[in-house]
Amino acid sequence: MEQSSLFNTRQMLDEQLRESCAKVNYSYVCHNYMTNRFISRDTRLKIALILLSAFTLASLLISVYFNEKLTTIIGLISSLLVLIVTVYQKDFNLETRVNEHRKTADALWKIKEDFISLLIDFDDLELSDIRKNRDELLQRLDEIYRQAPRTDKRAYREAQKAIKIEEEQTFSKNEEVDSILPITLRRNSNE
């Protein structure tokens, strides 16, 4: 009876660790998608500002040179658009959001790797050591999540697609892993 209970406890701990590792991986990928989205949005806004500023300058120069009322109006409208984009950038501070999501993703990557290491060492550890390591990981994870910016449904759907369909964060064949390792560490060293 004691042996069966011990097996069930180890099995439940194993399942909990695997599930936690998967959840951390999802969060890690979500934060990477949020980072990429904010970088893309920030880049587009900066390009828009450059183009609008150039357009404003050109229309005002034409207005001054040719005394055209229409180009003055166009210059004023594009100047207003520059102001709107600038206020948007100030209020939403995309660079700060990028840094927050990147910092969170980096911290989650380390936690994910620590969960994987614990799962690898699982059979060699006593139950008390497994629980201690698990509790420490969950405590560190809680600290990360308390400081982390929120992700959204879109990032979760993108992460879900990337992990389940595109197999992001995985290698489908040993050859893929071997191809990035030095020759001396490859399992199938045919070279």
**What does the CA dihedral 87, 152, 27, 41 come to, rounded to 10 degrees?**
-40
What's the token pair of residue 14?
């194993």
- pLDDT (tens digit per residue) in 154-172: 999 999 998 888 877 776 6
pLDDT attached to residue 127: 94
Q: With bands split at pLDDT 50, 70 and 90, how would you rate the model's confidence at 1?
A: very low
Q: 184 pLDDT exceeds 60?
A: yes
Q: For residue 70, what pLDDT is reported?
A: 85
| Residue 177 in this model has a pLDDT that exceeds 90 | no
pLDDT band at residue 176, thresholds of 50, 70 and 90? low
Return the sign of the alpha-carbon dihedral for residues 131, 136, 141, 146.
positive
Q: Does the pLDDT value for residue 149 go beyond 60? A: yes
Statement: residue 25 has pLDDT above 90:
yes
Confidence band for 186, pLDDT divided at 50, 70 and 90: low
**Is the CB of residue 81 less than 8 Å from the CB of residue 32?**
no
- Spatial separation of the C-alpha atoms in residues 151 and 130, rounded to whole Å: 30
pLDDT in tens, 85-124: 999 888 888 999 999 999 999 999 999 999 999 999 999 9
Closest CA to 85 of 50, 133, 40, 110: 50
Residue 151 has which token pair?
A: 């992700």
Output the CA–CA distances (angstroms, integers) from residue 19 to 12, 24, 60, 134, in the order listed. Answer: 11, 9, 61, 12
pLDDT for residue 185 = 58
State whether residue 41 is helix, strand or coil: helix
Indicate the pTM of the whole model.
0.79
